Amino acid sequence: MKAEPTELEHALGYSFGNPQVLVRALTHRSLARESVQPKDGATGDNERLEFLGDAVLGLVVAEALFAAHPEWSEGELTRVRAQLVSREHMAVVAGAVGLGSHLRLSRGEDRGGLRHKATVLSNAIEAVIGAMFLDGGLDPVRAFVGRRVMGEIAEVLAEEVRTGAALGNYKSALQEHLQAARVGVPVYRVRRESGPDHRKRFLVEVRLKNAGEPGTALARGTGSTKKRAEQDAARRALEKLIAASSASGDAEEQAAT
- CA separation for the pair 70, 254 (Å, rounded): 42
- pLDDT for residue 96 is more than 80: yes
- CA separation for the pair 192, 226 (Å, rounded): 10
The catalytically annotated residue of 45, 54, 135, 205 is 54
- On average, the pLDDT of the chain sits at 82
The catalytically annotated residue of 45, 50, 109, 126 is 126
Active site (annotated) includes residue 197: no
In the chain the domains, ranked by start, together with CATH numbers, are 5-163 (1.10.1520.10), 169-256 (3.30.160.20)
Active site (annotated) includes residue 126: yes
Answer with the residue of higher pLDDT: 227 or 129: 129
- CA separation for the pair 33, 252 (Å, rounded): 17
- pLDDT for residue 214 is more than 80: no
Radius of gyration of the chain measured on its C-alpha atoms: 21
Q: What distance lies between CA 161 and its chain's CA centroid?
A: 19
What is the per-residue pLDDT across 103-162, written as a single tens digit (0 to 9) for each?
Answer: 887 776 666 677 778 888 999 999 999 999 999 999 999 999 999 999 878 887 787 776
The model carries a pTM of 0.62
Rounded to 5 degrees, what are φ and ψ at 192? Answer: -160, 145
pLDDT at 40: 43
